[in-house]
Amino acid sequence: MGFVVCIALFLGVVMFMPLPWQATRAVNPLMVYFHRLTPFLLVIVGCWNCFWYAMRNPDTFWGTAALVSGIAMLLAGLLLGMQSREQDQHLQARVYRTLKPFRLPVFVVLLASFLLYFITIIQLNLGLPIIS
């Protein structure tokens, strides 16, 4: 499951970066699908990290890492999913405007969590010791 979390974190990092190809997402139907799937994936994996793994292992390093990365993925999923509703007057728009100042901290935590999971997966595959 660490591999799935690592992929979800990577997708979250990519979606938060201001890339030039994000402007073409309305033209390419694959990009539209990618932009709709990523927030859903972040919320699902973030819930699994927070409410299953972190709650079962609260006193370990990886339980704490799962809690931190899970909260970051939940916030990232909310921010990315409600991004198009910023101009509306509905509750979703107010929630998005409330969470918008946290974009940079969420991005930094997503990037740090991705690097932690990615480096650990590489170390495991090479047979090197990891953080326990």
pLDDT tens-digit series, residues 20-58: 655 555 567 777 788 888 999 999 999 999 999 999 999
pLDDT at residue number 26: 59
24 inside domain: yes
Quick one: CA dihedral 59, 65, 71, 77, positive or negative?
A: negative
Q: Furthest-apart CA pair in the chain: how many Å? A: 53
Please state the domain count of the chain: 1
Which residue's entry shows tokens 């990891």? 130
132 inside domain: no
Q: How many helices (H) and strands (E) does the chain have?
A: 6, 0
Which residue's entry shows tokens 């990365």? 69
pLDDT band at 91 (very low <50, low <70, confident <90, very high): confident
Q: What are phi and psi of 19, to 5 degrees?
A: -100, 150
Q: What are phi and psi of 88, to 5 degrees?
A: -70, 165
The more confident residue out of 93 and 105 is 105
pLDDT, tens only, 105-120? 999 999 999 999 999 9
| Residue-averaged pLDDT of the chain | 86
Domain of residue 25, residue span: 2-126
Q: Which amino acid is at 62?
A: W
37 inside domain: yes
131 inside domain: no
CA distances from 33 to 1, 69, 78 (A): 24, 24, 17
pTM for this one? 0.85
